[in-house]
Amino acid sequence: MAGTPISELLDAVDTLDVENVMALTAPEAAILLTDGRRAEGAEAVRELLGSLLGTLRSATHAIRSEWHLDGVWIAEVDATYELHDGLRTAPLPRAFIVHVGAGGVNEMHVYGAHEHPLDERREVEGGMRLGGRWLPPL
């Protein structure tokens, strides 16, 4: 859906320009990413988004469905990412929950279906999960 807070936010993310995303957020914004990283306040959000977007060569988000109720937007999204090393993910299912206030996006929570199980022990930090399997960094 074009012109909604989530579509505008995802369009900004897909530019890979942190300032495009920050232009849509409130000064007290908070974010929670699929890997559990969190940030609160504009500077911390800017730093976290910079870290995330800095690993990507490209990002594409396609909204499958979207709902709105009392300033909260919820969307089911297919996300495709290409890392700087050329690794490209298949569309990954995502759920975005975005709280919007007068100053812009106050809060964004992103949930994904490809996180590792809680009891999985990884010997090497980094890497990513694709198709239900853990791929260590190259």
Q: What is the pLDDT of residues 64-118, one digit of tens each?
A: 999 999 999 999 999 999 998 888 888 999 999 999 999 999 999 999 976 655 5
For residue 4, pLDDT over 80 is answered with: yes
Domain boundaries, the chain: 5-115
Nearest Cα to 5, choosing from 66, 80, 53? 66
Helix (H) or strand (E) holding 92, with range, is strand 92-101
Read off the pTM. Answer: 0.81
C-alpha R_g of the chain: 15
Overall average pLDDT of the 110-134 stretch: 64
Q: Compute the distance between CA of residue 81 and CA of residue 35 in angstroms, rounded to an integer.
A: 15
Q: What is the pLDDT of residues 29-72, one digit of tens each?
A: 999 998 889 999 999 999 999 999 999 999 999 999 999 999 99
Pairing of strands 25-32, 104-112: parallel
Q: Which CATH architecture has domain 5-115?
A: Roll (3.10)
Check residue 3 and report its DSSP letter.
Answer: T
pLDDT of residue 36: 87
pLDDT of residue 113: 77
